[in-house]
Amino acid sequence: MSATTEEEAPTVHILWLNVGQSCDGDSVALTAATQPSIEEIALGALPGLPKIAVHWPLIDFDNGPVGGTNDFIEWFFMGERGELDPFVMVVEGSIPNEAIKAE
């Protein structure tokens, strides 16, 4: 078995949604992290971490509407179609489920 080089390692796509019934406090706190910083992670400055592409509305430059010039949500559609491999889906916030309420 041969070792994987940086050239061969795939980019991990981080699909991050700030949705649900919460605020963006977790995202804002992450931008203030220092050990490591989000910049160090995103720019690949830490040895041993895979290369990542962050698709996160808080920091993404591609933040336009569906079908627009900078179609942010297209990354999520690509993940759904199996065109991003590998990817990690992050959902920040609670997701309501009416089926489990007491009423």
Supply the Cα-derived Rg of the chain in whole angstroms.
Answer: 16
Q: Is residue 52 part of a domain?
A: yes
Which two three-digit tokens encode residue 72?
Answer: 């942010």
Q: Is residue 102 part of a domain?
A: no
- What's the pLDDT score for residue 62? 67
Q: Domain span at residue 22?
A: 12-91
Model confidence at 101: pLDDT above 90:
no
- How far is Cα 48 from Cα 52, in angstroms, rounded to an integer? 12
Structural domain tally of the chain?
A: 1
pLDDT digits (tens, 9 = 90+) for 44-80: 899 999 999 988 887 777 666 667 667 888 899 999 9
- What's the pLDDT score for residue 6? 53
- pLDDT, the chain, mean: 82
The residue with tokens 């919460």 is 22
In angstroms, how far is CA 4 from the centroid of its own chain?
23
- Strands, sheet with 87-92, edge to edge from the N-terminal-most edge strand: 52-55, 12-18, 87-92
Q: State the pTM of this model.
A: 0.74
Which two three-digit tokens encode residue 42?
Answer: 């995103």
